[in-house]
Amino acid sequence: MAKVCVSAYVYGLVQGVGFRYSTQHQAKGLGLTGYARNLDDGSVEVVACGPQADVDQLIEWLKQGGPKSARVDRVLTEPKAAGEYSDFSIRH
């Protein structure tokens, strides 16, 4: 099974609402590796690596709004070169 990595940039009310922690929980449940981190412009960057179907499932969850406390306005995705991530972490 081919491993893919995708960078997703999530815009809206996504900082200070537990977004990174909820994303980490979803990603770990899917067996993905990568990270979530806040960016200076108020968005969250999510890097997800794993089987295509599982990465797609996480991206769909992000597009549907993530955790209930968040408001997602848009999600932009782009392919990313495969990285060596041992788990799914939260970066600061």
20 is catalytic: yes
Q: Among the residues of 15-92, which ranges form H helices?
A: 19-29, 52-63
CB 10 within 8 A of CB 26: no
Residue burial 29-62, b: 16+ Cβ < 10 Å; e: rest: ebebbbbbebeeeebbbbbbbbeeebbbbbbebb
- Residue type, position 53, single letter: A
Given the residues 37, 38, 74, 91, select the one marked as catalytic: 38
Given the residues 20, 37, 71, 74, select the one marked as catalytic: 20
38 is catalytic: yes
Please list the active-site residues: 20, 38
